[in-house]
Chains A and B, each alone.
Chain A
Amino acid sequence: VILYSVHIENFKGLRGPLDVPFDENEINLVLGPNGAGKSTLREAIETVLVENHNTSGAAAEQMRPRDTTLAPSITLTFSEGGEVYRVSKTFLDSPNASLEHRSASGQFQVIAKGKAADEQVRAMLRSQSVKAKDKVGERLGFLSVLCGNQDVRALPALSGDALADVRQMLGAQLSGQRGAAFEQAVRKKFLAAWTREDEKAKVKKGRLAELEDLLTGARESLAASQASLAQVGDLESSARAARERHRETSESLETFRAQYTALAAVARQVTDLRTKRAIAQSTLEAAKAQYGQLSREIEAIVEAGVKKGRCEQAQSRLADVEATCLRERDAQAEKAELTRAHWEQSVAPDPEIDHLDKRVEAAIAHLRNLEEQNALRDRLQRAENAARRKFELEAALADLNAPEAATWAEIQRTAQQAEEARIRVETLALRFEIQAETELTAEVLFGEPSGSARLEQGQIFVALGDGRLKLRLPGIATLDLTGLATDATELRHKQQESEKSLQRLIAPFSVAALSDLASRVERCNILSGQLVVADAELAAALGSDTLETIHNRECDLAASRDQILAAEPSWAAQQPDVQKLRAAVARRKADREQIQAEARAVWVEADRGRTAAADAAATATANWASNTEELAAADETLARLQTDGRTLGDRREDLDGKRRACDRAEDDLRSIDLTLAGLPQDALERATELARQIEIVKSQLQEIRESYQQDEAVMRAILFRGPYSSLAAAEERVRQLEEEYAGELLRVNAIKRLWDAIQKTKAKALEGLAEPVQQRATDILERIAGAPIATIELGANLAPSSVQPDGCTAEAPLDQMSAGEQEQIYFATRVALAEVVAQNERQVLLLDDPLVNTDGERLARTFDLIEEHCGRLQFVILSCHPDSYDPLHGAARQELAHGEILAMESLVGATA
Chain B
Amino acid sequence: MRATQFGEKGERVRAARLESARRIIAEATAEKVDFLLLAGDVFEHNGVERLKIREVARILSSAPCPVYIIPGNHDPYIAGSVWEDKSWSEWPNLHVLTEPVPVQVTGGMLYPCPVVPTDSRDDPTAWIAAETDRLAVGMAHGTVENGAYGELTHPIPRNAAEARGLDYLALGHYHSQVSYAEPDGRIRMAYSGTHEPTRFDEHSSGNVLIVEIPSRGASPQLKRVKTGCLEWISRREHIEHPGQISLLADDFDRLPTPEHTLVECRLAGTLFGMDDEALSRLVEIVEGRFLFGRADVSGLVPDEAGPEWIDRLPDGYLRATAQKLLACARSEPPDPVAAVALRQFSRLWQEVS
Q: Which residues of A contact B (CB under 8 A)?
A: 173-176, 178-179, 181-183, 185-186, 189, 228-229, 232, 236, 239-240, 711-713, 715-725, 727-729, 731-733, 735-736, 739, 746-747, 749-751, 753-754, 757-758, 760-762, 764-765
Contacts and interface: CB of A to CB of B under 8 A. Distances in A.
Contact of A728 (B10, B340, B349, B353): B10
A240 B48 contact: no
Given A753-B325, A762-B317, A736 B340 contact: no
Contact of A761 (B1, B10, B321): B321
B121 to A, nearest CB: 14
B333 interface: no
9 contacts: A179-B316, A240-B117, A715-B78, A721-B47, A725-B52, A728-B3, A757-B321, A757-B341, A765-B317
Given A728-B4, A736-B8, A753-B337, A179 B318 contact: yes
A735 B7 CA distance: 6
Contacts of B201: none
Contacts of B50: 720, 722
Contacts of A176: 314
Contacts of B280: none
Contacts of B337: 746, 749-750, 753
Contacts of A757: 321, 324-325, 341
Contacts of A717: 80
Interface in B40-54: 44-52
Nearest to B117: A240
Contacts of A749: 337, 340
Contacts of A232: 46-47, 80
A864 to B, nearest CB: 38
B2 A718 contact: no
A723 B318 contact: no
Contact of B336 (A175, A715, A718, A746): A746
B79 A750 contact: no
Nearest to A740: B7
Q: How large is the interface on B (under 10, 10 to 19, 20 to 34, 35 or more residues)?
A: 35 or more
B2 A728 contact: yes
Contact of B318 (A229, A236, A731, A758): A758
A262 B1 CA distance: 58
Interface string B38-75: 00000011111111100000000000000000000000
Identify the interface centre among B46, B317, B343: most chain A CB within 10 Å of its CB: B317
Contacts of B7: 732-733, 735-736, 739
Contact of B316 (A175, A724, A754): A175
Given A725-B48, A728-B1, A732-B7, A185 B348 contact: yes
Contacts of B8: 732, 736
A722 B4 contact: no
B233 to A, nearest CB: 19
Contacts of A189: 344, 348
B6 A732 contact: yes
Contacts of A175: 314, 316-318
Contacts of A236: 78-79, 118
A746 B336 CA distance: 8
Contacts of A715: 78-80
A-B residue pairs, 3 tightest by C-beta: A736-B7, A712-B79, A724-B47
B340 A174 contact: no
Contacts of B45: 229, 724, 727
Contact of A720 (B80, B117, B344): B80
Given A228-B47, A718-B80, A185 B352 contact: yes
B320 interface: yes
A724 B7 CA distance: 16
A751 B7 CA distance: 26
Contacts of B81: 719
Contacts, number: 152
Contacts of B325: 753-754, 757
B351 interface: yes
Nearest to A738: B7
Contact of A765 (B44, B320, B344): B320
Nearest to A174: B316
Nearest to A188: B348
B52 A174 contact: no
A716 B84 contact: yes
A725 B47 contact: yes
A240 B324 CA distance: 63
Contacts of A711: 79
A186 B79 contact: no
B1 A754 contact: no
A712 B80 contact: yes
Nearest to B316: A174
A747 B340 contact: yes
B5 A722 contact: no
Given A181-B352, A725-B49, A751-B341, A174 B2 contact: no
B72 to A, nearest CB: 14
A236 B341 CA distance: 52
Identify the interface centre among B48, B50, B84, B336: most chain A CB within 10 Å of its CB: B48
Contacts of B349: 182
B345 interface: yes
B46 A724 contact: yes
Identify the interface centre among A232, A713, A729, A757: most chain B CB within 10 Å of its CB: A757
A174 B84 contact: no
B349 to A, nearest CB: 6
Contacts of B117: 240
A760 B81 CA distance: 63
Contact of B47 (A722, A761, A765): A722
A727 B321 CA distance: 46
Interface string B314-343: 111110110011000000000011101101
Contact of B352 (A178, A718, A765): A178
Contacts of B352: 178, 181-182, 185
Nearest to B81: A719
Given A174-B316, A179-B316, A746-B336, A727 B341 contact: no
Contacts of B338: 750, 753
A757 to B, nearest CB: 5
Interface in B149-188: none
A375 B262 CA distance: 156
Given A175-B316, A228-B47, 19 more contacts: A174-B314, A175-B314, A178-B353, A239-B79, A715-B79, A716-B84, A720-B80, A724-B47, A732-B4, A736-B7, A739-B7, A746-B337, A747-B340, A750-B338, A753-B337, A754-B344, A754-B345, A761-B320, A765-B316
Identify the interface centre among A173, A179, A239, A724: most chain B CB within 10 Å of its CB: A724
Interface in B4-49: 4-8, 10, 44-49
Contacts of B1: 725, 728
Contacts of B340: 746-747, 749-750
A724 B344 contact: no
B48 to A, nearest CB: 5
A185 B84 CA distance: 63
